[in-house]
Chain A
C-alpha cells in the first residue's frame, strides 16, 4: 500500500524516472554489468553508448524484466522495484524495442501487436492494423500490418517493432539499436520522434553505435565499457560542445583514446581506384529478374570492373536481399544473365559459383552465415566441406583444418578463445570477421557484401570497411549493399539506388552524389 502511494506521489516530483543503483549482473564466466549506477530522467533522451559486448543489452534486459540483477537495485519513480518479469515491467510503463526481433514469424504484424491481450478475446485484426498504420504514418513510415512477419525484411520488422512500442504508450521507452536497420532518413524521423516523446515528459533510452545520432538526438550520454560505466556527458556539457568536440570526447570515453576508430564515421574522400574504362568487367548482370512474393526484382543491369566498388543504396526491403541471393545462387533466377569473367553462371549452383570465384558475405550472420554450434574452424570451411585438402576420401583432415583456422584467425584478428569454440558464442564483430575470412580468399574474383557493418561497433566497422577496400585494391569486383549512405559514399566508385525491386538510377560517387542518391531514394529523381 505504502509502495503504491509513494509511487504515485513520486511521479509528480521531479526525480529520475528510473534509476539503477549499483547494479551488477553476472553470467557464468563474465560480469556483464559491473556496479552500474545511472539515473534516467523524464523529458530526456538518454543515449547509451558502448562497444559490442559492453553490456548495454544486458542492462536493457534487467529494465524489461528479462533478467534480474545479481546485485543492486532498480528504482522506478523513486521506489525500489522488483522487475521480476516482462509483464511487471510493462505494467510499470517500461516498453522496449529489443536489439533482436521479438516478433513471432508465423503471425502477421497486427497479430504480433495483439499478443498479450485477454486470452478469450477476439483479436481485432482490422482495428489494430488501422491503428498501426496511423501510428506509422504519424512517424512518417509505412508498414504492412497484414503481412506475415516471416515474409518481411529485418528492416521492416524493426519498423513494426518501433510502431508497436509507440502504440503501447509507455512512459519509459528503450530503443536497443533500433536504428540499425533503418535508412538515414527513417533514422532521422525516429530521432525526431524520440525528441517529441521526451518533450512529452516521458523518458527515452536510445542505444546506438552511430555517434552522429547520439549527438543529434541525445540530451545526455552514458558510456559503458567492459560492463562498467566509464563516463558520460550531462545535458549542460553536451549542449556546450560542438559536434566534433562531442564526437572526440565520446570516442575517448568509449575506447580510452582520442584517435581510435574516429575515422570510421568521418567522411574520407571517395576512393580513387585506378579504373580502366576499357577493361572487361568481372561481374556482368543483364536484365536480371528474380521472383519474390513481396518484392519481385526486375530489370537489373550492372557491370563491375576489376577493382571497382559498386554500391547499392536503398531503403531496406526494396529487393536488395533478393538480388544478393540470386547472384549468390541461393535463389532461382527467373530471367536474365549473370556473367562472371565471361562465364554465364545463372544456372550454376552455390558451390559452382563459388568455385568460379564469387563470394557472398551475408547480413544474416547468425541465421545463414554460420552454424552456431560448429567450431570456428569448421565455420571457416563451411562452404568447402568435403573438399581437399581438408577432406580426403570423405575423411576429415584435422591437421589441415586446424592450420587453415589458425592462419585465418590470426590474419583477420578474430578474437576467439580457440578455434574449437562454437562460432555462435562469439560477439557480432568477431562473427563478421569470421565470415570475411571465409569469403575473401585469393581465388575470389567478385564479392557481394550485404550490410557488412550492420550492428557492429566503431572498431569493427572500421575493420570491415578496410577489408572491403582491400578487396577492391586486390582488383576484385565488389558489390556493396548497404543502407548506410555514409558507408556507400566512403567506399563506392558508383552507387546504384534500388527501389521496389528495380534500379532507379546509378550515380558516380562525386561531390553531388549524396544529394542525388538521397533524391533517388526518396523518389524525387524518378
Chain B
C-alpha cells in the first residue's frame, strides 16, 4: 500500500515528536511534583500560561529563545500559587489545582482577546539544529535529528532526571517527601522546601511544554490550545511510576496517536477528524485499564504536610 511511503513515515514520526515533546515535558514535570507528594492538577493551567507568555514574548522580541524562557516563567508563575496555597498553607490540592487550571484558561483567553481581538498573528518558522551525519538517515534523520533545540533539551532532561532521582540525595529527598514527609523532616530536611522546588520545576516544565505547542507546534496562540495535554501528562506521570524513561515511552506513544491525524491527511485517507482526535484519549483509557492498577503512587500524595500534626 502506498501508505508507508517515506514522506508519510517522516511526517508521522516528526508529528509524533512534535506532539510528544509537550507531553514529555509536562509528564516529567508532573512526575516530579507527584514524587514529592503534590498532586498537581493545575498543570494544565501552567501549560496554557506558558503557551501564552511564550508566544507573546516570541512574537514581540522575535526571539524563540526568549519565548521559551518566558514560557517557562509563565508556567512557574502559576505554579507559585500552587506552592504558596497548597505546599505552604496546606490547602486542598485538588480544589486549588482545578481553580488554577480554570483561572489560567480564562485569563489567557481574555488577555489574548484584549490584545489581538479575533486575529491570530503567526510566528516565523523556528530555528532548527541539524545534527551532523545522523541528520542524513532517511525518515529518522529529518524527523528527529533536524529539530528545534528544545527537542534536544527535553530528551536530555530525561537522562538528567533519571540521574537526579537515582543518584543524588535530591532524588531520595523527593521520594521521602512523597512517602513519609515526617521521616524526611526528622532527618533535618525542610519538606516544604523540597515540595516547593518540585512544584516550581513542574511549573517551568509545563510552561515550556505549552510554549513548545504555541511556538513550534502551531506557530500561533489560540485560547484553550493545550487541549487536555496537561491532563494526559498527569496520566503519564502516574503510569510511569517515578521513572523518567517511562514518561518518554508514554509521551512517544500518545504523541504518535496525536500525529496520526496529520499523517493520515498527508496520506490522503479520509476518516472523520473527530474520530482521530479521540484516539489519544481512547489510548489513555486503554492504557489505564491495562496498567492503571499497577500504578503505585506515593503514600502521602495529595496530603499537605504540617510538622507535628497527627
The judgment on whether A and B are partners is yes
Q: Footprint of B on A, CB under 8 Å? A: 61, 64, 66-67, 85-87, 90-91, 96, 98, 101-107, 111-112, 114-123
Chain B residue at smallest Cβ distance from A96: B186
B24 at the interface (CB under 8 A from A): no
Taking the nearest CB of chain B, how far is it from the CB of A481, in angstroms? 27
Chain B residues with CB below 8 A from A122, complex form:
167-169
When the two chains form their complex, are residues A120 and B172 in contact, meaning their CB atoms are under 8 A apart? no
Q: Mark B65-109, 1 if CB is under 8 A from A, else 0.
A: 000000000000000000000000000000000000000000000
Q: Footprint of A on B, CB under 8 Å? A: 167-170, 172-173, 175-176, 179-180, 182-190, 298-299, 307-308
From known contacts A102-B186, A105-B299, infer whether A115 and B180 are also in contact, taking CB-CB under 8 Å: no
Chain B residue at smallest Cβ distance from A424: B310
The CA-CA distance from A114 to B190 in the complex, in Å, is: 15
The CA-CA distance from A96 to B183 in the complex, in Å, is: 12
The CA-CA distance from A101 to B183 in the complex, in Å, is: 8
Majority DSSP secondary structure for residues of A touching B: loop
**A67, A96, A115, A123 — most chain B CB neighbours (10 Å):** A115
Chain B residues with CB below 8 A from A90, complex form:
187-188
From known contacts A66-B308, A120-B168, A120-B170, infer whether A103 and B180 are also in contact, taking CB-CB under 8 Å: yes
When the two chains form their complex, are residues A117 and B186 in contact, meaning their CB atoms are under 8 A apart? no
Taking the nearest CB of chain A, how far is it from the CB of B174, in angstroms? 10
The CA-CA distance from A418 to B235 in the complex, in Å, is: 43
14 CB-based A-B contacts, threshold 8 Å: A61-B308, A87-B188, A87-B189, A102-B183, A105-B179, A106-B179, A106-B298, A107-B175, A115-B169, A115-B189, A116-B188, A119-B169, A120-B168, A122-B168
Chain A residues with CB below 8 A from B186, complex form:
64, 66, 86, 96, 98, 102
Chain A residues with CB below 8 A from B298, complex form:
106
Chain B residue at smallest Cβ distance from A112: B183
Chain B residues with CB below 8 A from A98, complex form:
186
Chain B residues with CB below 8 A from A123, complex form:
167-169, 172
Chain B residues with CB below 8 A from A120, complex form:
168-170
User: Other than the known A66-B186, A66-B307, what 12 A-B pairs have Cβ atoms closer than 8 Å?
Assistant: A61-B308, A64-B186, A66-B308, A102-B182, A102-B186, A104-B183, A105-B179, A106-B298, A111-B172, A112-B183, A116-B169, A116-B187
The CA-CA distance from A11 to B137 in the complex, in Å, is: 72
Chain A residues with CB below 8 A from B179, complex form:
104-107
Taking the nearest CB of chain B, how far is it from the CB of A327, in angstroms? 28
The CA-CA distance from A300 to B78 in the complex, in Å, is: 60
When the two chains form their complex, are residues A66 and B185 in contact, meaning their CB atoms are under 8 A apart? yes
When the two chains form their complex, are residues A115 and B173 in contact, meaning their CB atoms are under 8 A apart? yes
The CA-CA distance from A120 to B307 in the complex, in Å, is: 25
Chain A residues with CB below 8 A from B189, complex form:
87, 115-116
The CA-CA distance from A117 to B187 in the complex, in Å, is: 9
Taking the nearest CB of chain A, how far is it from the CB of B85, in angstroms? 22
Pairs of residues from A and B, 7 with the lowest C-beta to C-beta distance, nearest first? A116-B187, A87-B188, A104-B176, A115-B187, A119-B170, A104-B180, A66-B308
Chain B residue at smallest Cβ distance from A67: B308
Chain A residue at smallest Cβ distance from B176: A104
Chain B residues with CB below 8 A from A105, complex form:
179-180, 299
Chain B residues with CB below 8 A from A117, complex form:
169
Chain A residues with CB below 8 A from B187, complex form:
86, 90, 102, 112, 115-116
When the two chains form their complex, are residues B183 and A115 in contact, meaning their CB atoms are under 8 A apart? yes
Chain B residue at smallest Cβ distance from A89: B188
Q: Which of A64, A85, A101, A114 contacts B169 (CB 8 A)?
A: A114
Chain B residue at smallest Cβ distance from A425: B310
Taking the nearest CB of chain A, how far is it from the CB of B55, in angstroms? 34
When the two chains form their complex, are residues B190 and A85 in contact, meaning their CB atoms are under 8 A apart? yes
The CA-CA distance from A162 to B182 in the complex, in Å, is: 17
Chain B residues with CB below 8 A from A96, complex form:
186
Chain B residue at smallest Cβ distance from A64: B186
**B167, B173, B186, B298 — most chain A CB neighbours (10 Å):** B186
Q: Which of B167, B168, B172, B188 contacts A107 (CB 8 A)?
A: B172
Taking the nearest CB of chain B, how far is it from the CB of A361, in angstroms? 24
Q: Which of B169, B190, B308 contacts A121 (CB 8 A)?
A: B169
Chain B residues with CB below 8 A from A67, complex form:
307-308
**A61, A90, A102 — most chain B CB neighbours (10 Å):** A102
When the two chains form their complex, are residues B308 and A107 in contact, meaning their CB atoms are under 8 A apart? no
When the two chains form their complex, are residues B173 and A119 in contact, meaning their CB atoms are under 8 A apart? yes
When the two chains form their complex, are residues B184 and A87 in contact, meaning their CB atoms are under 8 A apart? no
Chain A residue at smallest Cβ distance from B177: A104
When the two chains form their complex, are residues A103 and B308 in contact, meaning their CB atoms are under 8 A apart? no
Chain A residues with CB below 8 A from B169, complex form:
114-123
Q: Which of B168, B185, B299 contacts A119 (CB 8 A)?
A: B168
Q: Which of A61, A64, A106, A116 contacts B175 (CB 8 A)?
A: A106
The CA-CA distance from A102 to B184 in the complex, in Å, is: 8
Taking the nearest CB of chain A, how far is it from the CB of B177, in angstroms? 9
When the two chains form their complex, are residues B168 and A115 in contact, meaning their CB atoms are under 8 A apart? no
Chain B residues with CB below 8 A from A86, complex form:
185-188, 307
